Amino acid sequence: MEQNFIDYVKICCRSGKGGAGSAHFFRSRLNPRGGPDGGDGGRGGHIVLRGNKQQWTLLSLKYRKHVYAGDGVNGSKSNCTGADGDDIILDVPLGTVARLDGSTQVIAEITEEGQKVVLLRGGRGGQGNTHFKSSTHQSPRYAQPGEEGTEHWIILELKVLADVGLVGFPNAGKSTLLASITAAKPKIADYAFTTLVPNLGIVPYREHYSFVMADIPGIIEGASQGKGLGYRFLRHIERNAVLLFLVPADSPDHAKEYHILLQELEAFNKELLHKDRILAISKSDLLDDELQKAIKKELNEALKHEKAPKTEVLFFSSVTGKGLSTLKDHLWKKLNAPAL
C-alpha cells in the first residue's frame, strides 16, 4: 500500500486539433456548377478529469506521462460535419486538484463522485465554405482551418478529504487512535515514521452518525522546509475541517511540542491556523489524576495567549479507552457547530 499511494503526478496533456472546414462545391450530372456545400470540421478532443470515489490514489497516472486527445475530422461534401476528436477522461480520486506546472493557481478541483471538469479544451473545428457565401460572393473557395489544440504539463495533487486530521510528531499515538475508534488497520510500531502514507477511517458516532478521520504521517520540526516526511503530506491537512493535535503524555514538554506543530503548519500555510482545533494528550493511562491536572493547568496557561478561538485540552488513552467517548463528543460538536 505504501508504495502504491501516489498523491502527486506530473503529466503532459494535449487536447485535440479541430478539423478543417471543407471548401467543396456541389456537382452532379444535372447541376455541374452547384453552390458551396463544404461541411464544418469536428472539434478536437478534450482532456477531462472525472471524480471516482473508488480510487484512493493517483497510481493509475504515475506511469502515463503523455495524454493526447484525438483530433477532429475534417468536414466533407454535402454539408457533412466532421466527427469530433475522442475525449480523454482521466478518473481521479476525490480531493484531486490540478494546476499548470510552474503555477500555484488551481485550474480544476474534483470533490464529488462523477464530477467532470474539462482540463484542456480541444480546438474548434473550422467552418466550411457554405458559411462564407453571400449574394455578392456566391462561390467562396476557402474554408477555415481547425484550431490547434493546447499542450501543457499538468500537476495533479491529491489532498485527502477528511473531517478530522490528526496532527502530531511521529509516535504521538495517531495510528493507535485511528485503529481504536475506526475499522482502519494502519501499521503500528514503536519507531518513528511508522506511518508513511495517510490513512483514512470512518468513526461511528452515537447511533447512525459518523465522520471521517485521517492519520497524516508524522510531522517533525522543520517539516515545512522539507525535513522528514511532513512536507510531502502537509497538503492533506488543508482539506480537514477540524485539526486534532496529539501530544503524548510522556512528552518532556507538552506546550513546546504543541507550539512546534503550530509553527510548522503556519510556515506551510497560515490559513491552517484558522481551522477549529483540539489539543489531546494521548497515552494518558500513564498519568495519575494529580499529574493530569498539573499538565492541564500548564497547557491552559500556555494557551491563554493564542489569537485563535480557545483550544480545548482533552486526555485519552487508546489502549484503555479512557476519554475516547468525550473526545468523539467534542469532535462531533466542532464539526457540526454553526458557521459564524
DSSP states of 14-52: EPPPPPPPP--B---SS-TT--B-PPPPPPPPPEEEEE-
Least confident interval from 87-91, 223-227, 255-259: 223-227
181 and 308 share a domain?
yes
44 and 186 share a domain?
no
Query: What is the pLDDT at residue 189?
Result: 41
Query: What is the pLDDT at residue 185?
Result: 59
Using the 3D structure, point to which of 129, 158, 187 is the last residue of a domain: 158
Instruction: At 151, give phi and psi (nearest 5°).
Output: -130, 130
Residue 90 C-alpha from the chain's centroid: 14
pLDDT band at 47 (very low <50, low <70, confident <90, very high): very high
Which residue did the predictor score with more confidence, 221 or 148?
A: 148
Least confident interval from 49-58, 151-160, 210-219: 210-219
Model confidence at 186: pLDDT above 50: no
Using alpha carbons only, what angle is made at residue 220 by residues 214 and 225, rounded to the nearest 5 degrees? 105
**Cα–Cα distance measured from residue 50 to residue 115, given in angstroms and rounded to the nearest whole number:** 5
187 and 324 share a domain?
yes
Q: Which pLDDT tens digit goes with each residue over 196-224? A: 567 778 888 887 888 888 887 756 555 44
Identify the helix (H) or strand (E) that includes residue 97.
Answer: strand 96-100
178 and 325 share a domain?
yes
Q: What is the Cβ-side half-sphere exposure of residue 213, based on CA atoms within 13 angstroms?
A: 28
**Cα–Cα distance measured from residue 119 to residue 122, given in angstroms and rounded to the nearest whole number:** 10
Model confidence at 140: pLDDT above 80: yes
Q: What is the DSSP string of 154-208?
A: EEEEE----SEEEE--TTSSHHHHHHHHSS------SSTT---S-EEEEEEETTT
Number of domains in the chain: 2
Cβ contact 106:154 at 8 Å: no
Model confidence at 195: pLDDT above 50: no
Query: What is the pLDDT at residue 301?
Result: 85
4 and 151 share a domain?
yes
Lookup: cell for 323: 476519554
Per-residue pLDDT, averaged over 141-169, amounts to: 90
CATH of the domain at 124: 2.70.210.12
Flag whether 225 is in a domain: yes
The percentage of residues in the chain with a pLDDT greater than 70, rounded to a whole number, is 88
Flag whether 276 is in a domain: yes
272 and 191 share a domain?
yes
Model confidence at 326: pLDDT above 90: yes
175 and 192 share a domain?
yes
Domain residue limits at 90: 1-158
Q: What is the mean pLDDT of the chain?
A: 84
152 and 249 share a domain?
no
pLDDT band at 194 (very low <50, low <70, confident <90, very high): very low
